[in-house]
Amino acid sequence: MSFELTKPILDRIRTDVEDGRDSSVQELLSELHPADIGSILDRLTVEEAVYVYRLLEPEEAAEVLLELDEDRREELLGSLTSREIAEDVLEHIDSDDAADVVSELSEEKQREVIALLDDAEQREDIEELLTYEEGTAGALMAKELVQVRTDWNVARAVVEMRRQAQEVEHVYTVYVVDKDDHLYGILPLKQLLFSAESTRTLIKHICDTDVESVKVDTDVEEVVKLMKKYDVVVLPVVDSEGRLVGRITFDDVMDVMSDEATEDYQLASGISEDVDATDTPLVQMRARLPWLLIGLAGGILSSQIIAQYEGQLRIDPKMAFFMPLIAATAGNVGVQSSAIVVQGLALGSLDGVNIFARLWKELRVAVITALVCGLLIFLVNLGLHETQALTYTVSIALFSVILSAAMFGTVIPLALDRLKVDPALATGPFVTTLNDIFGLLTYFSVGHLMYGLFP
Amino acid sequence: MSFELTKPILDRIRTDVEDGRDSSVQELLSELHPADIGSILDRLTVEEAVYVYRLLEPEEAAEVLLELDEDRREELLGSLTSREIAEDVLEHIDSDDAADVVSELSEEKQREVIALLDDAEQREDIEELLTYEEGTAGALMAKELVQVRTDWNVARAVVEMRRQAQEVEHVYTVYVVDKDDHLYGILPLKQLLFSAESTRTLIKHICDTDVESVKVDTDVEEVVKLMKKYDVVVLPVVDSEGRLVGRITFDDVMDVMSDEATEDYQLASGISEDVDATDTPLVQMRARLPWLLIGLAGGILSSQIIAQYEGQLRIDPKMAFFMPLIAATAGNVGVQSSAIVVQGLALGSLDGVNIFARLWKELRVAVITALVCGLLIFLVNLGLHETQALTYTVSIALFSVILSAAMFGTVIPLALDRLKVDPALATGPFVTTLNDIFGLLTYFSVGHLMYGLFP
């Protein structure tokens, strides 16, 4: 049923490739879904992958290509001639995937490949799709769809649909447009399946006009929200004049959702590019080092701040004992507060909530938390028989740091969102570092005061 | 087209409710999708929400109920009688949603509501769905589907399908079963739309037998993976004998994907229950405090470890300056390493990769990173004219800490995964705290050694 990639399978393919047992490889792969073949090719060396790729039927090979990791796809495309890409790959895939493949080629190869396409309509479709900016509905949509006109009768519509459906792999719904191609409504397949082929009924009288659509320049995040909210399997895309120009299907939206979740999670974990366990160490380092350097800079800044309080540390070296506690708590609270805001923004549960209402709510959470934690550490230090000065310093600093980290944690993602920066950045190392520094500053200021009061 | 919830809209509804202008509220809501009405009800007070809910037509109200936050739904259900739930809500929604609603009721009310259902088939469906464990395909599936028999001819199949389709809101595909209800294949709607209604052709000769399915006890994570991988809009569910018992649609899977992404992100941010910006301060605190207490315990443990090195701090209080740098870097590196493993596990790119191969790759990344960071801090401390002992201590400790945090960060999520614990836990505060402590221990041990070598 479901295929699981194991080491024995990989090993078998590797030895088969090495020994040139092509039919053995072909037999094994013939059982598999393109997605599974893709995951195998991702694991082989480039040379092995190219060899196996060339053993596939063109139609299957094109499907497999779409399932590969971006890096591996680039490598495989590099081993294909422009003619092979145009005739063996692009001919067999939908326009949106074709545009994606073409966009991964060098500009020169793009022109060559497009010029080699026989079908003028396909050429125009790909050229159009390439003009849309990444991250918009236009760049995500496919041109393939089935559409009928408001002024056709059902019988004519059925004939036209049958003709058009040859070109479209999955027909989820039939679109209805007026004579100027403006989106007018949809004809759900279910309804079509069960309505008689009358020559008198006009499409405009039986179609459903209550249809959600997006514009070509709508942000994909908005597309995802709409599709999730309204549970539609396919969303029509219109141009600025309301003319139907494409459709976005649920599978593309699922991919966007995964990518967004990955991006948020990586930002929160201090990884700046989309890297994967399969990427080379160098690529992984490039994604990780910048954040570590920010953390390092923060650490150096911290060291300079603590240096200002060296006198304090000479009076009581025990002040140093609780630095990690203060810094870590500030970081933890800040990340929690930010995460709640980030999720609220993503899920829309903060729509129509003003920033002060949000801050007020967070403040109430923070005050209780700060009281609990402050009291707890007070009792612990009493138990440890620490000096009065240190006991008060740690408790009061912890209390203050929790409040300020909660406020920072709430304001920063909201501000980032206003500035059109991904608010998930706030849950990453940058803000944690800021909270660390601010926490230590608070701690030593409170310490300075307390050691004055309780010498 | 797309509705955006704003404060003026909320305010208008609130005053309309207060002044009893029912028709004004109804007029406003009649334009909106149930999902949008749901987001409005989520924002009102319970009393207002109940009032508005009762202004809706039963069919629409049932749809709205499904779109609400869980807490709000529970409150609204609490205001409805068992008869209202059975007749006005459950009658109008699919079996999977109905089972979800029923499962949110108290046991006693569950029995009452089920007993009040007129339709015996619906009663059985709901009772069956309630038996499946949460998190399995069975608990996610709906019973509504259109199925035909292998031994029917096309004409008979069309008649049966038309009858069955009355009961099913969205028909994405038609399932084919044998005489014992075993799943045999599918009839894509597109094919049906374009095939003649012959009385001679048997369904088993025209259906597609290459169909993915899952068992009732398949984990939902597996369902999500399959659906994303194979781009299917609806997945059939079979029992242990291979009999077709339900179907899972893309919209349910999208919801699961969102929930999983939220859960991972929250675990990584130190939030233990599914909380939302709209939850009460008390609920938010309950989800956050445990993690802060773990951090606090870690901080106290750190303080005790540092206390062991108080002598060291008395010799050179400057040792304290770089504690935050060491602890923060250890935390950052550990989270990065874990995040890459967590994503690799989720996306399947670590399938068939053994733990030592993964560790070896991570080690190479870590060594370069550690060299860069260690050298950098060495140069900074040279520039700051710190003592030899301190300069060497910080650089060597930083180098070691990056290596060990990377190794911990890789091993821990892999180990959690083996233990069937969500590996995303590894990117949360618990492991960061461990890395903090281990980092400080390393730092002071190295310091002890260096201050011996360079007195």
Q: Give residue-wise pLDDT tens across range B142-167.
A: 998 889 999 998 888 888 888 888 77
Domain extents for chain A? 7-137, 147-249, 281-453
Distance CA A414, CA A346 (A): 12
Rg (CA), chain B: 30
Contact B189/A at CB under 8 A: yes
Lowest mean pLDDT among A376-385, B123-132, B264-273, B393-402: B264-273
CATH of B147-249, picked from 3.20.20.70, 3.10.580.10, 3.40.50.300, 3.40.50.1820, is: 3.10.580.10
Q: Which of A9, A222, A339 sits opposite B271 (nearest CB)?
A: A339
pLDDT tens by residue, B213-267: 999 999 998 898 888 888 888 999 999 999 999 999 988 888 888 888 888 888 8
Using a CB–CB cutoff of 8 Å, tell me whether A194 touches chain B.
yes
Q: Do A313 and B310 touch (CB under 8 A)?
A: no
Whose CA is closest to B218, among B126, B144, B141, B143? B141
Mean pLDDT of B189-193: 68
- For A296, which residue in chain B has the nearest alpha carbon? B325
* Contact flag B213-A171 (C-beta cutoff 8 Å): no
Instruction: Report DSSP state, residue B269.
Output: T
Contact B320 A322 (CB under 8 A): no
CB A410 within 8 A of CB A362: yes
CA distance A159 to A143: 20
Strands B234-238, B244-249: pairing is antiparallel
pLDDT given at position A1: 47
For residue B1, pLDDT over 60 is answered with no
Which residue numbers in chain A have pLDDT < 50? Answer: 1
Q: Quick one: pLDDT band at residue B268, thresholds 50, 70, 90?
A: confident
Which pLDDT band holds residue B5 (cuts at 50, 70, 90)? confident
Confidence at residue A375, expressed as pLDDT on a 0 to 100 scale? 95
B131, B99 contact by CB (below 8 A): no
| CB spacing of A306 vs B320 below 8 angstroms | yes
* Å between A47 CA and nearest CA of chain B: 20
What pLDDT is attached to residue B241?
92
CA–CA distance, A189 with A195 (Å, rounded to integer) = 10
pLDDT at residue A233, rounded to an integer: 87
Give the nearest chain B residue to A275 (CA atoms): B340
B210 touching chain A per CB within 8 A: no
Asked if A299 lies within 8 A of B343 by C-beta distance, the reply is no
Residue in B288, B302, B318 closest to A369 by CB: B288
Chain length of chain A: 455
Chain A, window 351-390: residues with a beta carbon less than 8 angstroms from a chain B beta carbon:
351-354, 358, 361, 364-365, 368-369, 372-373, 376-377, 380
Rounded Cα gap, residues B59 and B87, in angstroms:
10
Residue from the list B222, B343, B368 with its beta carbon closest to the beta carbon of A285: B368
- Please spell the DSSP secondary structure of A311-366, one letter per residue: HHHHH-GGGGGGHHHHHHHHHHHHHHHHHHHHHHHHHTTTTT--HHHHHHHHHHHH
Chain B nearest-CA residue for A278: B349
Q: What percent of chain B has pLDDT over 90?
A: 41
Nearest to B291 among A4, A332, A433 (CB): A332
Name the residue among A230, A341, A344 with its Cβ closest to that of B33: A230
B231 at the A interface (CB within 8 A)?
Answer: yes
A183-188 and A147-149: which strand pairing?
A: unpaired
pLDDT (tens digit per residue) in B8-28: 888 899 999 999 899 999 998
Tell me the pLDDT tens digit for each residue of B25-68: 999 898 888 888 998 998 888 999 999 999 999 889 999 999 89
> For domain A7-137, which architecture applies?
Alpha Horseshoe (1.25)
Q: Does the pLDDT at position B367 exceed 70?
A: yes
Quote the CA–CA distance of B162 and A190 in Å, as a whole number.
Answer: 9
**CATH 2.60.120.380 is held by the domain B281-453:** no
Contact A303 B322 (CB under 8 A): yes
ipTM (interface pTM): 0.79
Alpha carbon distance A148, A185 (integer Å): 10
CA distance B394 to B377: 7
Contact (CB, 8 A) for B331 and B435 = yes
More confident residue, B130 or B168: B130
Judge whether B281 is closer than 8 Å to chain A, CB to CB: yes
Cβ <8 Å between B165 and A1: no
Q: How high is the pLDDT of residue B196?
A: 59
Whether B215 and B137 have beta carbons less than 8 Å apart is answered as yes
